């Protein structure tokens, strides 16, 4: 069952239709934690890409839906706001990952080297 309309990326539409904020926030936090702990030099770039990916995927589906039905997605600015709020824990996780890495480097118990 597709999420709605005629999605070009059906797995993303189904995932959004079965959305759970708590689970998604935890997943984005863990992703950010991994970015910060394992890749300290480029972690913020990865976090920005992870933050923007849901908006881009939804934008592709939205444009495809508009081709078939111009009245769908009549709240589209708010939809991107919801995606931004949902993906924002990636930045908190990245900051925590950096702090964990710095703490481990200072305590000389560095499992990352």
The domain tally of the chain equals: 1
* Residue 13 falls inside a structural domain: no
Q: Give the separation between CA 95 and CA 37, rounded to whole angstroms.
A: 9
Residue-level pLDDT at 1: 43
* Residue 39 falls inside a structural domain: yes
* Residue 7 falls inside a structural domain: no
Residue-level pLDDT at 2: 45
Residues 80 and 61: beta-carbon distance below 8 Å? no
Domain that holds residue 58: 22-106
Q: Tell me the per-residue pLDDT of 57-112, one tens digit each, with 9 for 90 and over.
A: 888 878 877 777 767 666 767 877 888 888 999 999 999 999 998 888 888 765 66
**Confidence at 6, pLDDT banded by 50, 70, 90:** low
* Residue 55 falls inside a structural domain: yes
* Residue 111 falls inside a structural domain: no
Residue-level pLDDT at 88: 92
* Residue 112 falls inside a structural domain: no
> CB 112: neighbour CB atoms within 10 A?
11
* Residue 15 falls inside a structural domain: no
* Residue 59 falls inside a structural domain: yes
Residues 57 and 9: beta-carbon distance below 8 Å? yes
Specify the pTM: 0.75
Q: Looking at the predicted structure, is the pLDDT value of residue 56 above 60? A: yes
């Amino acid at each position: 069952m597709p999420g709605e309309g005629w999605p070009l990326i059906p797995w993303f539409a189904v995932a959004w239709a079965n959305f759970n904020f708590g689970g998604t926030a935890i997943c984005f936090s863990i992703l950010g934690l991994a970015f910060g702990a394992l890749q300290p030099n480029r972690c913020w770039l990865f976090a920005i890409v992870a933050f923007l990916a849901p908006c881009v995927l939804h934008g592709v589906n939205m444009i495809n839906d508009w081709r078939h039905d111009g009245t769908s997605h009549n709240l589209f600015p708010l939809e991107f706001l919801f995606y931004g709020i949902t993906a924002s824990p990636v930045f908190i996780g990245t900051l925590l990952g950096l702090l964990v890495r710095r703490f481990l480097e200072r305590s000389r118990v560095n499992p990352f080297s």
